[in-house]
Structure 1
């Protein structure tokens, strides 16, 4: 039984499910690759803020209701948690040390991308004029500023939070006798 997915597996899953996955699909993604994971784990991770919440997506057809879909980044986040737990980190340590800012950074990234895409679509509707060209130039500056902001936020996060996967001085659990001295 594997403890986590490989980078190649993660990329394959992300490419095939860009729109997100239901809780059952997430569990199946891990089970199909022989990694133990359950819906109970998913619910706990969401409650602790380790994994982003699902959002409702309407079903096609009349009176079909909606279903909860998790953003595809949830799979990568769960995988990171699985790796860190295999290194004997507790969920509380993972929450405090590694994922403290992840959701906010990802929300900032998603929101800025969505906003810039909406501006670009709106500008694309305008007639080809000098004004439109100036607005596209302004949009390019905004896009660059958003990328610089995200780069700066990632740098700050890395300065504040130790790198994920960094080795612990000991394996967790009971202290080594020499540590008690």
Structure 2
């Protein structure tokens, strides 16, 4: 995907980011046909995460700083979001299969309340994360490192 958009990003960097826990692991998908093996498929959040990492590295953060300061809670928050969404869809499907009537209406009302509570929980978790972790775009003084392209002579 990166090469299609002329973004420099190597497979070695991807492997390193996965090993450091910065990017979620791939899921292996088997290829059709005899002896075709399998290939790794990454969730779309991996692309967003890589873009964030590249942005922070351009701001001269190290991988260790990024890991400690910016991505400390990301995987757990994303897992919570995905799991709650999946669970709510399963509840909705189960309720939709119920016979029409007062009980079904009451279940849908309860589901709406649970959806609101889940959304409020995620908002609260994001707020807490922002309070604990400095803004990603915040610059801080830093010596050494590679010169910015605008600093090159």
The Cα of 1:169 is off from its aligned counterpart by 1.8
Map 1:15-164 onto structure 2 (within 5 A): 29-59=1-31, 66-164=38-136
Q: What do the CA deviations read for 1:4-27 (whole angstroms, capped 9, x no partner)? A: xxxxxxxxxxxxxxxxxxxxxxxx
- Find runs of 4+ consecutive structure 1 residues off by over 6 angstroms: none
Partners of 1:120 and 1:56 lie apart in 2 by: 29
Normalising by structure 2, we get a TM-score of 0.87
Gaps of at least 5 residues in structure 1 are 1-28, 175-181
Moved more, 90-99 or 48-57: 48-57
The Cα of 1:62 is off from its aligned counterpart by 7.7
Relative contact order: is structure 1 or structure 2 higher (C-alpha 8 Å, sep ≥ 6)?
1
Residues 65 and 124 (structure 1 numbering): CA distance in 2 closer, same or farther, change over 3 Å?
A: farther
Residues 88 and 171, structure 1, Cα contact 8 Å, conserved in 2: no
Moved more, 29-38 or 54-63: 54-63
Partners of 2:36 and 2:112 lie apart in 1 by: 42
The Cα of 1:44 is off from its aligned counterpart by 0.5
Residues 89 and 172, structure 1, Cα contact 8 Å, conserved in 2: no
Q: What do the CA deviations read for 1:42-72 (whole angstroms, capped 9, x no partner)? A: 0100111101111233445687654321100
Gaps of at least 5 residues in structure 2 are 147-153
Moved more, 30-39 or 100-109: 30-39
The Cα of 1:34 is off from its aligned counterpart by 2.4
Residues 46 and 53, structure 1, Cα contact 8 Å, conserved in 2: yes
Partners of 2:33 and 2:83 lie apart in 1 by: 29
Normalising by structure 1, we get a TM-score of 0.74
